[in-house]
Chains A and B, each alone.
Chain A
Amino acid sequence: MRDGRALRAVVALALMGGVVLPILAGFAQTARAAFGVLPAIGAVDWSLAPWHQLMELPGFGTSLRLTLVTGVGSTVAALALAAGFCALLHGRISQGAMGRLLMPFLAAPHAALAIGLAFLLAPSGWIARMVSPWLTGWERPPDLATVNDGWGLALIVGLLIKEVPFLLLVMGSALGQLPVRQHLAAGRALGYARGVVWVKVILPQVYPLIRLPIFIVLAFALSVVDMAIILGPSNPPTLAVAIIRWFSAPDTGLILPASAAALLQAGVVAAAIGAWILAEGGARCVGRWWLRRGGRGHRAEPGLWAAGSVVMGLMALGALALVSLLVWSFAWRWSFPQALPQSWSLKAWMTPGSGWGRALEATVVIGVAATLASLVLAVAWLEGEDRARRGRAGWAQALIYLPLLVPQIGFLYGLNVLFLTIGISGGMLAVIWAQMLFVFPYVMIALSDPWRALDPHHLRAAAALGAGPWRRLVAVKLPMLVRPLMVAAAIGFAVSVAQYLPTLFMGAGRIATLTTEAVTLASGSDRRVVGVYAVLQAGLPFLAYGAALLVPAIVYRNRRGLLGGAV
């Protein structure tokens, strides 16, 4: 018991000191700069001038509008599409098949997918090449803004390809907790169409279980940077991208309005979540009215089919985007309207010294370190809960999700300023730690449920056989949880590989990972080189997921009791 308390205290302290305090300190620093105080550049007087300056920056209003349209629009669309797809397919394909279908989209980092989409959708992209000139008559790339379009449509498509599978995943696990079959049978026996039972009966039960992931998606879509640089409108860009530009502009006078904008970015996310919660109330009223009318809704089925086909279309686009990365990285001569390269080459792959070798190394080192440290912390936390024999407190749950809900840009720049003052900026350790802020929550989310689902009778049996708490952990719990531990590690590694802003800011530009390099090169560099970076960036998470499935299957090839059930 006392042991448990000590362990919990250590973990709580590590999280307070490692997560909450730095985020608060980073925000404080950003807020000070937003109101005119940043001694490092000689600004010492409190004032509202940075805000006035921000309002007058060219494109500010458009940036704000673009952020709201792409962020809220993509989230609403993702939720609707995921719900429709789920209604259509739930029970018709197995959980395992669904997992395999979603895996590539969950594993692929945003930046790699965005680059692939750009390769695909651009006027000189693969799709245009496939249909030219026989269909379009184009002999040269048309002058169309199919990527970086002024409305942000390409960005919305990119976000949807990542977010719909994520929402499908969380819906799938929420559905596992509900008696879906019985409710469907009961509803259909009362004359409701299958899809309509789903929307009227199942969805209202699923929604509360996936509310938090929806907020995470919303917060992410509103403040995404890497994908918005590659696919989003370029001039003016979305607010988050504009902030990065202002922060890194040669004119240090822009740092103060940029800080104001970073604070505003946090406000935008908070306001959007607030508005979403208000809208939930409205939807509840409308939904109830609709439900009480008692329509059997056979006419709603075509809507579901439409949602289903849009999702399939998005997945096809995503898959083609990933393939196009591979094709470009091996291409040599590939002039416009050829559907495939005229000649192939390994040249881009033969020169790791050109930069991708070191970026790969840095990515792997940072990813492995951040994942292992997060895993140890997560196991310590869960074990502390077990030893104290209690479940998770609400504040602890909130603490885990905090870094996923507050926009990175709101505190990372301020934090970097703070680190610069202390003199620990630009190091590997600072980057690893900053990535852990985002790796740890996902590791925790992936590990919590399987950990709690472990039958406590096994542990009681072990205790009754004389095994103390450490032996129970090492000889019973961890070996029985090898599969979820590996999956959590793979997810953590994938999250780490995909991180852009933490590496950029905390590395102070000195640490180059595959992600930072790929995003930098994405605009206007040789597609063959960009292809190599993006393939590597997307390949690492795939390898990690592969290992997560393979290792337990080999270690436990003779243990049927541990091989059942899908991941």
Chain B
Amino acid sequence: MSLELDGVCVGPKGAPPLFSAITLRVEPGEVAALMGPSGIGKSTLLDAIGGHLAHGFVVTGSVRLNGRDVLPLPAEARRIGVLFQDAMLFPHLSVGDNLAFGLSPAVRGAARRAAVDTALDQAGLAGFAARDPATLSGGQRARAALMRALLAEPEALLLDEPFSRLDAELRAEIRGFAFEHLRLRGIPGLLVTHDASDAEAAGGVVVNL
């Protein structure tokens, strides 16, 4: 399992790309970090990889995930998870239903509930299944969002500054929790950050845009 970027350029249609072409290979369980000043297009690059580019933007080059070329696929078929600055738990669903949202429909009935409970347990959120996501603390939300992303069994995970809203102590804890899970499951991760300590903790390649 690996995520390969080959000569990837992103930019508005008919205008020069936002940054020079990027070639990068992220091995399973490894987390690469993208750094650079605000507005240079780090998040846009993640949008391009995940399939969320806004109208009027184009991406060139190739993005391969385990050998598959993902660029022609719609976002929902890429098997690439994302974590944003805010946890983006769906406000109309309970915490448990949020986690189950990404679970394959092939997992049914009791197995579904069990999968959610196990994930909640791992995130230190045992017994939270019926809770309203709005009642969770920042750290709890971040962990729930990570578990939701992982239950969908992604082949890669994009992290768009997911730790930047947390205070220093919590930040280190959640970061460690996320990277540990990626490493255990052998999922390649790509982290966008402003913070050098994030990049250092990721322990992988650091690309400066």
Contacts and interface: CB of A to CB of B under 8 A. Distances in A.
The reply to whether chain A is a binding partner of chain B is yes
Interface of A: 1, 388-390, 455-458, 460-469, 472, 475-476, 479-480, 482, 556, 558-562
B135 A463 contact: no
Interface string B115-152: 00000000000000000111100000000010011001
A460 to B, nearest CB: 5
Contact of A480 (B81, B92, B135): B92
Interface string B52-94: 1111100000000000000000111111111010101011111
Given A480-B91, A480-B92, A457 B86 contact: yes
B152 A465 contact: yes
A479 B88 CA distance: 15
Nearest to A558: B132
Contact of B88 (A388, A457, A559): A457
B186 interface: no
B50 A464 contact: yes
Given A457-B88, A476-B90, A465 B81 contact: yes
Given A455-B88, A476-B90, A559-B91, A464 B135 contact: no
Contact of A464 (B53, B81, B92, B94): B81
8 contacts: A388-B55, A464-B80, A465-B152, A466-B152, A467-B102, A469-B76, A480-B91, A556-B92
B86 A464 contact: no
Contacts of A469: 74, 76
Contacts of A458: 88, 90
B72 to A, nearest CB: 11
Contacts of A1: 74
In the complex, which range does the number of interface residues on chain B fall in? 35 or more
Given A389-B55, A457-B84, A559-B134, A465 B101 contact: yes
Contact of B132 (A457, A476, A480, A559): A559
A466 B81 CA distance: 9
A461 B55 CA distance: 18
Contacts of B86: 457
A464 B154 contact: yes
Interface in B34-54: 47, 50-54
Contacts of A464: 50, 52, 75-76, 78, 80-82, 149, 152, 154, 158
Contacts of B101: 462, 465, 467, 475
A561 B76 contact: no
Contacts of B51: 463
Contacts of A476: 90
B134 A460 contact: no
Contacts of B145: 461
Contacts of A457: 84, 86, 88
A480 B90 contact: yes
Contacts of A462: 90, 101
B45 to A, nearest CB: 14
Contact of A466 (B53, B102, B132): B102
A558 B86 CA distance: 21
Contacts of A479: 90, 92-93
Given A466-B77, A560-B132, 17 more contacts: A461-B82, A461-B90, A463-B74, A464-B50, A465-B149, A466-B104, A467-B102, A468-B74, A472-B76, A476-B90, A479-B90, A479-B93, A480-B91, A482-B92, A558-B132, A561-B91, A561-B132
Contacts of A475: 101
A480 B90 CA distance: 8
Contacts of A389: 53-55
B191 to A, nearest CB: 15
A1 B73 CA distance: 11
A207 to B, nearest CB: 31
Contacts of B56: 390
A1 B77 CA distance: 14
Most interface-central of A463, A467, A472 (chain B CB within 10 A)? A463
B41 to A, nearest CB: 17
B75 A463 contact: yes
A465 B78 CA distance: 10
Nearest to B151: A465
Contacts of A482: 92
A561 B82 CA distance: 21
Contacts of B52: 456, 460, 463-464
Nearest to A458: B88
Contact of B135 (A388, A461, A467, A560): A560
A464 B92 CA distance: 18
Nearest to B93: A479
Nearest to A481: B92
A508 B86 CA distance: 57
A135 to B, nearest CB: 58
A560 B134 contact: yes
Contacts of B54: 389
Given A480-B92, A561-B132, A468 B55 contact: no
B146 to A, nearest CB: 12
A464 B46 CA distance: 12
A494 to B, nearest CB: 26
Given A480-B92, A562-B92, A466 B76 contact: yes
Nearest to B97: A475
A555 to B, nearest CB: 9
Contacts of B76: 463-464, 466-469, 472
A4 to B, nearest CB: 10
A460 B158 CA distance: 12
A476 B97 CA distance: 12
Contacts of A465: 81, 101-102, 148-149, 152
A1 B101 CA distance: 23
A228 B98 CA distance: 55
Contacts of B154: 464
A558 B134 CA distance: 9
Given A465-B81, A466-B102, A460 B133 contact: no
A461 B84 contact: yes
Nearest to A555: B92
Contacts of B47: 460
Contacts of A390: 55-56
Contacts of B134: 559-561
A199 B30 CA distance: 60
Most interface-central of B74, B91, B145, B154 (chain A CB within 10 A)? B91
A463 B86 CA distance: 16
Contacts of A455: 88
A455 B88 CA distance: 9
Contacts of A556: 92
Contacts of B104: 466
A561 B133 CA distance: 8
A469 to B, nearest CB: 8
A465 B154 CA distance: 8
A479 B93 CA distance: 9
Contacts of A466: 76-77, 79, 102, 104, 152
A7 to B, nearest CB: 15
B171 to A, nearest CB: 20
